[in-house]
Structure 1
């Protein structure tokens, strides 16, 4: 009898514990069920893959484009230019040459093509070089510059650059005329450390010269004029208003590092026909995890006032999201490892562009 009572007690305990575990599991938030506090207006149609071009080599990035050609630089070879026609059916390669006695940090230099002018920006030396697609003979262009991490040209005589001062990011304008370098210290707003929390990318519309500074780790973007004055502050539809990052100082090397992986908000962006297209890194509450995981989510905003318009899906290529993308002639051109892909924009997006 005692043995039966003990056995019953053990069975009841096991059943009770098992039931509690099941209840806890049922109410435990899954990785794909955690709410981010926002919803998207997702149009039914997706971007459709139309053409694929094997670039044979990796490490390409967008250096510029026209309606007829796309210009790619290569992180591994600063002097190399790959020119692709806009329908991805033909390619041409060029190699630039540097004048004698010129030295630079070519592994960190970046190519910028404003056809037919070609620039190489070297933020470590620092220097900016210029050539053209017909001669490809580089010569130092700007008389003075400053150290910078990235640069874009806004005119033949002026560049906007992102630099670092006192371990904080700031934007500067570099010109060929005195005072040559003009810092704008109050454009980027510090939230945590001033370096990682303000990290982002400058995007320019080559047609209108509209400028956007897109923050990586917060739901904010800035519309700027070519003198780096803020026209307005826009917000993406997610709720991450403060950068979710953790910082540590390495005193032995006088460096500041991230002590934990950051929460990306905006992966990348591009401007086309007065619209800002942002590749978002966060899932909305109304998105199904299966669809979200198969696609890249692109959010569309008005460049006039920063208002959200809608979103659409762009299918991943072989399970990967695009490293970079641009929109040329109503087609999305995306870079993946050693592949260029061309997608058609959904009709609803095209219709909206044509109306505007």
Structure 2
């Protein structure tokens, strides 16, 4: 009987070893043959994203080295210990994925890709037990004391658990707080629901009120278009100005209930009209010139203008009830090269936080500013462009001109509920070139603290790419070619909203 058991033990040890060799060789070469896909998938791990560049090649090397150890009889026991510890680490990893991660990513690795995560966990446990039995029988053949075997199994196993948990905790901190340009794409953060053909591609988002999206039109600047958020009905309104004798260049419209506003910063005039009425009255004349304007409320505005003193961009506020009406803060926008191109960016207003956001176009930074132009926070996007890559020369007439095309970092942004949605122009680590040809990437950030929340792709519609975006409590609306498209946000996105007293309730009235 003992002889029969010895034969079984002697068969189990090489059988376990060769099964591991088959697993590791297949898995290792599968990763090597499609290394880009493997690293992209690993970078999307909610546990190991920050270490994808190190762990990716390390796992392949370890699997192939263990295979070599397992095929040789004199090194087989060492290979079995290594396989056991590696499988323990994989098992702990999957357990953390299933129970503690923000989302569950796609699995990777040859035929294992066909398994769901629970099946994958069972598979790993079975292989870990197989290695454990082979180790116990091997040590028994060598007459190793049980206590020694137990210690040889226990302490490295605890180390494997500690390493995986440590990588998980530190990776989460790095990705969200100190990201070195690794994007994380959750599962289905937005869902394409409906599209509506607007007929032309010259629209832009002007605002939302009472369940209606308001659109301005670049080619018809005095036409205000509305479309219900269900994207079923479209209406237009021709706006009349109480004084239209101005040399306008680019009139823009913005909606903030219960009013709409018209302005053209090359002409120092602001108009205000009542929603539903076609007539707009002059409320500000000769107060200031500006390149961008954000409506705070019916009498207060934030703007960006060129300083007459420094010739650089400067942020300011206009209050129709104050004296003086204009307040400027020359220290907010930090000059790196020329003060114009290097500080170029987009000025935003967040109703929920009652804060201004200024996101630079050519560097990885955005500013959070209060209504009195006090800097509250300097926060960063996840790319590594700390300094604007612009080359500028000064012309004899005092104007600035770029010597070459600059590297655009942040193309367009919107803010809603203290959440910044930013269209980035830079491809991150471990991201597919093909994917970038097919879609636009949108990164999500907190404006209350330094915090990257994840990214999602907005795919091209035929040959048309997304040109503009607009966020609400439930939906992301985009303009792409002639179409307006509605996507619904997943709960993983909307849970990050921080709504204040000014929370937009228009959608609740649909």
Bin the TM-score by the shorter chain: 0.7 to 0.9
Contact 1:75 1:107 in 2 (8 A): no
User: Do residues 74 (structure 1) and 246 (structure 2) align?
Assistant: no
Greater CA drift, 264-273 or 201-210? 201-210
Which residue does the alignment assign to 1:84?
Answer: 227
Alpha-carbon distance in 1 for matches of 2:495, 2:283: 43
1:11-90 equivalent positions in 2, closer than 5 A? 38-45=181-188, 47-66=190-209, 68-90=211-233
Q: CA deviation at 1:96?
A: 0.9
Q: CA deviation at 1:95?
A: 0.8
Q: Cα distance 1:118–1:352, how it changes in 2: closer, same or farther (>3 A)?
A: closer
- Structure with greater helix share of residues: 2
User: Do residues 248 (structure 1) and 393 (structure 2) align?
Assistant: yes
Greater CA drift, 346-355 or 314-323? 346-355
Which residue does the alignment assign to 1:270?
Answer: 414
Q: Cα distance 1:216–1:90, how it changes in 2: closer, same or farther (>3 A)?
A: same
Paired residue for 1:192, among 315, 325, 337?
A: 337
Alpha-carbon distance in 2 for matches of 1:317, 1:159: 36
Alpha-carbon distance in 2 for matches of 1:351, 1:49: 19
Higher relative contact order (CA 8 A, sep 6+): 1
Alpha-carbon distance in 2 for matches of 1:97, 1:306: 44
TM-score normalised by the chain length of structure 2 = 0.59
Which residue does the alignment assign to 1:94?
Answer: 237
TM-score normalised by the chain length of structure 1 = 0.84
For the pair shown, the structure with the greater C-alpha radius of gyration is 2
SS in 2 for 1:81: strand
Contact 1:63 1:71 in 2 (8 A): yes
Which residue does the alignment assign to 1:3?
Answer: none
Paired residue for 2:277, among 110, 113, 135?
A: 135
SS in 2 for 1:290: helix
Q: Cα distance 1:162–1:354, how it changes in 2: closer, same or farther (>3 A)?
A: closer
Q: Cα distance 1:97–1:237, how it changes in 2: closer, same or farther (>3 A)?
A: same
Alpha-carbon distance in 2 for matches of 1:134, 1:350: 31
Q: Cα distance 1:291–1:297, how it changes in 2: closer, same or farther (>3 A)?
A: same
Q: CA deviation at 1:117?
A: 0.6
Greater CA drift, 307-316 or 233-242? 307-316
Query: Alignment RMSD, CA only?
Result: 2.4
Alpha-carbon distance in 2 for matches of 1:203, 1:314: 21
Gaps of 5+ in 1: 1-34
User: Do residues 147 (structure 1) and 289 (structure 2) align?
Assistant: yes
Q: Would you say how many aligned residue pairs link Structure 1 and Structure 2?
A: 321
Gaps of 5+ in 2: 1-52, 54-178, 501-510
Q: Find runs of 4+ consecutive structure 1 residues off by over 4 angstroms.
A: 351-356
- Structure with greater strand share of residues: 1
Q: Cα distance 1:264–1:70, how it changes in 2: closer, same or farther (>3 A)?
A: same
